Structure 1
Amino acid sequence: MIGIGLNIAFVIAEFSIGIYYNSLGLISDAGHNLSDVASLILAMLAFRLAQIAPNGRYTYGYKKSTVLVSLLNAIILLIAVGVILGESLGKLFNPQPVEGVAIAWTAGVGVFINGITAWLFMKDKDKDLNVKGAYMHMAADALVSVGVVFSGILISYTGWSIIDPLIGIVIAGIIIYSTWSLLHDSIRLSLDGVPVGTDGEKIREQIMEVADVVECHHLHIWAISTTETALTAHIVIENFSVLEVVKKEVKTILLNSGIRHVTLEFEDVENSCSEHKC
């Protein structure tokens, strides 16, 4: 809510200054910042949806919305990069006079606003992909604003308007590089892939090391949300008399790996199914 409020105020201020100085650059950047407000609202909506209790139709609730929003935010970032590149290349071939001082001061405020908003999300960005998406938007905008500050100062002293599009192209490249991991992880979770940082083979080996466990197959690991991981597995044991002991030990192993939503099916040696036949 703080991030949304700060950025709405900045969008209004930047748009007003752009109108006053007749600066297309500031007006278009205000539009770009408005898309960041939309991204923050989407992230907040996903958090709210994730808290809705499961029901008969959605047995996991709406927790997957956090994954879908993180993917959407990655796509929005790439679209924003495309807009920046398009504008930069246009100005590169058709340089236009720029009011360097006004742009530098306005962008300086943008660095402050976007920097504070990014800082609000920094602590949890590595724990939650949805938070990372919001953080990436704000960090990217802060980076853009830093570039605009430098270009504004250089233009005011040299009069070289071509500096503006060149810095824009460099910043676009940096944003693409930093956004790749967000896009990759979001697509992976959307396809029910094993979350980054979770080693399925290592988990299988740890389960196999539990006493009385003969085999572990049909092991599936996927993300329910950007913060919750689920696992299902078939476990073959020597003796059903130790089932509860084995189950408790396996769940402890999984809990230590950050997997809380667990469904296990136990089989005895004589009636077990194989990896490819069940």
Structure 2
Amino acid sequence: MKNSTRLAAVLVISIAFFCAEIAIGFRTKSLALIADAFHYLNDIVAYLIAFLASHLQEKGYKPSGFTYALHRAELVGGFFNGIFLLALALSIFLQSIERFINIESVKDPLSMLIVGCVGLTLNLISATIVHEHGHGHGHGHGHGHSHASVIPQTDGHAMHNHTRLPPPLDPHGNLGVLAVFIHVLGDAVNNVGVMVAALIMWKTHSPSRFYADPAVSLAISLIIFASAIPLTLKTGRILLEASPIHLNLDSITEDLLASHSVLSIHDLHVWQLSQNVIVASFHVEVPVGTTLNQWEKIEGSLRECMTAYGVSHLTVGPEVATGTSNNVIEGKSKSVCNSLLGCSAAVVGSHDSLRHRGS
């Protein structure tokens, strides 16, 4: 089943339950039900964003101005889902504190219990629908640009740092679907809390029994915080084009300098286009007199090295050490690099700096 189909099914379930829960929540004056209902409303918006992002990506919609198509559509959706959740959690938290100060009785806790049971059942169904993506989508979901399985490691890379790396990325992960799965699991936990609060208010007769309602609401807000913060940080890191957290740029530079005829590396950039596509670019300095045939071998070795780190798209800019002559590589001058936004002509790594680190 496609991502968009799964998300559409979860969206329909959520809309139906939201309408029922918000109505009963206002009738019974239960803050826990109202908080859970507005969590569902936020989920509906989140699911809609994820659905549209997934649908556009599956249809291969490629607007002319987007050279990488819409690889980050679901990331953007996941990021804003996290922001919505954080705002919702803060609102519920403040309302819970207010309800502790001004306690209010809850009418008809039995209806509240029934809503909690129905909600838990629907959320388990939704979780099953979404979670099947991780198992049924596990084989044959690669992308057409990865060369990790095409270029084997040669003996020249046997001692490189990338040979000791764990698997860099989960190629079957999907932060857009993951965001929805987190929403659904959070809702299921919320439903359990609603059921517990309803049972306490229904079966006990202590005047303090109505504190169970804001207590559950407070717990719901903390659960939302706990799920939204990691999601927001993870998607935000990728959108800010930070280097993948499992990669060490010093180790990459060390391996690149170990390649034959590489004098220095500068302007090294490694970032993630999406959760399973890593992109990199750098400039490499080669000796004077390097021919085109020699450069092709050097470039092949560098690409093989970066592929072993999980890089799918690589751009390498060659530069000669000093001077130029016929039939040799002519690279972009460092003065030009220095003027580019975000680029520095400072050498990231050279054999001298490598020896200095080693000592």
Output the TM-score relative to the length of structure 2. Answer: 0.67
> Which of the pair has more CA radius of gyration?
2
SS for the counterpart of 1:260 is strand
Deviation at 1:179, TM superposition (A): 2.1
Distance 1:117 1:209 in 2: 51
Aligned residue identity for 2:15: I
Taking a change above 3 Å as real, the CA distance of residues 214 and 104 of structure 1, as seen in their structure-2 partners, is farther
1:163-197 C-alpha deviation (Å, 9 max, x unpaired) = 12112213322332332221222222222222333
Matched-pair contact (CA < 8 Å) for 1:85–1:168: yes
Greater shift in the superposed pair: 268-277 or 34-43: 268-277
2:249 paired residue number:
200
Matched-pair contact (CA < 8 Å) for 1:130–1:226: no
**Which of 277, 284, 300 is matched with 1:248 structurally?**
300
Deviation at 1:119, TM superposition (A): 4.3
Matched-pair contact (CA < 8 Å) for 2:266–2:345: no
Taking a change above 3 Å as real, the CA distance of residues 156 and 45 of structure 1, as seen in their structure-2 partners, is same
Taking a change above 3 Å as real, the CA distance of residues 260 and 106 of structure 1, as seen in their structure-2 partners, is same
Deviation at 1:42, TM superposition (A): 0.3
Gaps of 5+ in 1: none
Deviation at 1:18, TM superposition (A): 4.2
1:157 paired residue number:
203
Output the TM-score relative to the length of structure 1. Answer: 0.84
Matched-pair contact (CA < 8 Å) for 1:118–1:138: yes
2:45 paired residue number:
38
Higher relative contact order (Cα pairs below 8 Å, separated by 6+ residues): 2
Distance 2:37 2:298 in 1: 59
Taking a change above 3 Å as real, the CA distance of residues 15 and 117 of structure 1, as seen in their structure-2 partners, is same
2:119 paired residue number:
110
Matched-pair contact (CA < 8 Å) for 1:65–1:225: no
Distance 2:260 2:120 in 1: 57
2:180 paired residue number:
134
Percent of aligned positions that are identical: 25
Deviation at 1:78, TM superposition (A): 0.5
Taking a change above 3 Å as real, the CA distance of residues 253 and 53 of structure 1, as seen in their structure-2 partners, is farther
Distance 2:261 2:125 in 1: 54
Matched-pair contact (CA < 8 Å) for 1:185–1:195: no
1:75 paired residue number:
83
Taking a change above 3 Å as real, the CA distance of residues 115 and 27 of structure 1, as seen in their structure-2 partners, is same
**Which of 69, 84, 88 is matched with 2:96 structurally?**
88
Taking a change above 3 Å as real, the CA distance of residues 105 and 258 of structure 1, as seen in their structure-2 partners, is farther
Deviation at 1:108, TM superposition (A): 2.2
Matched-pair contact (CA < 8 Å) for 1:54–1:60: no
Deviation at 1:22, TM superposition (A): 4.0
Taking a change above 3 Å as real, the CA distance of residues 158 and 67 of structure 1, as seen in their structure-2 partners, is same
Distance 1:151 1:78 in 2: 24
**Which of 171, 181, 191 is matched with 2:220 structurally?**
171
> Which protein has the bigger helix share?
1
